[in-house]
């Protein structure tokens, strides 16, 4: 079944697709009146809908079956040091597929460019693409943290588990093993930019109560470390859910 996204405010009184979603349904997929689609709103609401009518700019839908999927009780917020644009949209899509609860871009000392203060629409589009591909009904929360490691620490205060994933040259509290994965509540996983953390940043995070964890002796690329952190937590959650 083909999947489409519609923001929460556009569901009432009855859902209608417009813009690119309507164009994709009618012009690219060439779906017809009476066919069914899956609709997501990014905050847990899903619906199987029948296509009621198709016009040049609008697709009207009739809800056949609706459900609300609660957020998992365990989730990861990934805080990634701001870096080059390459692979960023790829990471946004993968973050949705691997059920990240949040994705924060923070200004690190070794970031090559300043992190923007505002969320870009292109980033949201990448999240939506990941949701439609994976049929994940929840989009991660996006934040930018231009205030550096100090703002990152401040924003993290209400998160239950806080990990900073450091390269092997820095002091660690242990290895990122199975005991660190998929803990109840939210887990913040902080990775550095290309070039890694400075000694000062790593020390500030540890002094603020973050557990410094090693991911192994190899130097991992920014996107490799991010995907590995998300993937390991996702893998552990799948095992937990299969046992219930």
- Give the C-alpha separation, 149 to 107, whole Å: 7
How much is the pLDDT for 50? 98
CA contacts within 13 A on the Cβ side of 149: 23
Question: CA torsion sign, 119 to 121 to 122 to 124?
Answer: positive
Continuous segment of H or E residues that includes residue 186: strand 185-191
Residue boundaries of the structural domains of the chain: 3-68, 74-243
| Residue 162 token pair | 């806080």
In the chain, which stretches have pLDDT less than 70? 242-244
The CA R_g of the chain, rounded to the nearest whole Å, is 20
Q: For residue 232, give the H/E element and its range.
A: helix 222-243
CA-based nearest residue to 189, from 69, 93, 106? 106
Pairing of strands 161-166, 141-145: unpaired
Phi, psi of 104 (to 5 degrees): -110, 130
- Domain 74-243 architecture: 3-Layer(aba) Sandwich (3.40)
230 contacts 98 by C-beta, under 8 angstroms = yes
Same fold, 3-68 and 74-243: no
The dihedral over CA atoms of 19, 117, 163, 133, expressed in degrees to the nearest 10, equals: 10
Res 58: pLDDT: 95
Given the structure tokens 């996702």, which residue do they identify?
234
* pLDDT (0 to 100) of residue 244: 64
Q: Give the class (CATH, top level) of 3-68.
A: mainly beta
pTM for the whole structure: 0.92
Q: What is the pLDDT of residue 219?
A: 81
Rounded CA-CA distance 241/189 in Å is 21
| Residue-level pLDDT at 84 | 79
């Amino acid at each position: 079944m083909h999947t489409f996204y519609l923001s929460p405010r556009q569901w009432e009184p009855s859902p209608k697709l417009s813009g690119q979603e309507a164009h994709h349904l009618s012009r690219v997929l060439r779906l017809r009146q009476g066919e069914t689609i899956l609709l997501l709103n990014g905050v847990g609401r899903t619906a199987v809908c029948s296509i009621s009518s198709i016009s040049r700019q609008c697709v009207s839908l009739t809800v056949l079956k609706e459900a609300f999927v609660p957020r998992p009780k365990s989730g990861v917020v990934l805080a990634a040091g701001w870096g080059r644009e390459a692979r960023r949209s790829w990471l946004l899509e993968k973050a949705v597929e691997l059920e990240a609860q949040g994705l924060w871009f923070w200004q690190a000392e070794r970031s090559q460019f300043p992190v923007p203060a505002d969320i870009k629409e292109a980033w949201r589009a990448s999240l939506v693409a990941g949701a439609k591909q994976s049929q994940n009904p929840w989009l991660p929360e996006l934040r930018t943290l231009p205030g550096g490691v100090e703002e990152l620490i401040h924003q993290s205060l209400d998160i239950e588990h806080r990990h900073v994933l450091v390269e092997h040259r820095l002091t660690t509290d242990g290895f990122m093993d199975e005991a660190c994965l998929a803990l109840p509540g939210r887990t913040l996983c902080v990775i550095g930019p290309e070039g890694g953390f400075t000694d000062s940043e790593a020390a500030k995070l540890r002094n603020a109560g973050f557990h410094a964890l090693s991911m192994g002796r190899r130097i991992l690329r920014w996107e490799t470390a991010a995907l590995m952190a998300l993937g390991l937590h996702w893998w552990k959650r799948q095992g937990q859910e299969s046992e219930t």
